[in-house]
Amino acid sequence: MQQDVYTTQDAAKLLGVSLRTVQLWVESGSLLAWKTPGGHRRVLKESVDCLLHKRDVQPAANVADTHALISILVVEDNLSLCKLYEATIKSWKLPIDLKIVHDGFAALVAIGASQPNIIITDIDIPGMDGIMMLHKLREEHACDDSEIIVVTGLDAVRLQEMGGVPDGISVFLKPAPFGMIQARIQEIANQRLGVSRA
């Protein structure tokens, strides 16, 4: 029976997601699991296999490769700019897991499910005040380990009138400064690859 279950950590490695994401999937019923008398979760192997099949995800062959991935979340409602982000970032040939969402609500869901290493967001986004979203994330410590980069068409005066961007967040005027973004991602890639090989 033991081989028919996984720990949440094993399930996360196989699915290529964070431990927190697996825990959320268990809580939402997407993965079937129970708790041992010691309070540890055990996830049904069949449930993991089913989710892999549904999501068309291949089991991770090398755990170090999974850990080396840099997760980037782009929050942008302009579809042309989204395509530019996708094409440019993929052309860098870095170990990147890129997710693009188009509104503030989807951004909060994505951040809650799996805290990205880097969040690139506009301020003027549908469904939410972008400034308020950033302050809320800071207040709840939802992105303490994430690097947040704001790319906006709004100038500093307008941003201040709207409430100001929290300290420690880089702000760039559109068009997106891909050179600077690439340099930062390369820095993080080097750090993560160094850790995974240690």
The pLDDT, as a whole number, for residue 53 is 66
Q: Which pLDDT tens digit goes with each residue over 179-189?
A: 888 887 777 77
Write the DSSP assignment of 91-159 as a string of letters: HT---EEEEEESSHHHHHHHHHHS--SEEEE-SEETTEEHHHHHHHHHHTTTTTTSEEEEEESS-HHHH
- Where is pLDDT greater, at 50 or 156? 156
- Judged by DSSP in three states, 170 sits in strand
Q: What residues have CB less than 8 Å from 106, skipping those under 6 apart? A: 75
- pLDDT at residue 60 is higher than 60: no
- Judged by DSSP in three states, 37 sits in coil
Q: Which pLDDT tens digit goes with each residue over 77-132?
A: 999 999 999 999 888 877 788 999 998 888 888 888 888 989 999 999 988 889 98
Domains of the chain as residue ranges with CATH:
2-61 (1.10.1660.10), 64-197 (3.40.50.2300)
- Where is pLDDT greater, at 132 or 18? 132
What tokens were used for 22? 């697996």
Task: Identify whether the C-beta of residue 70 lies closer than 8 Å to the C-beta of residue 190.
Answer: no
Return the percentage of the chain with pLDDT > 90, whole number. Answer: 24
The pLDDT, as a whole number, for residue 61 is 39
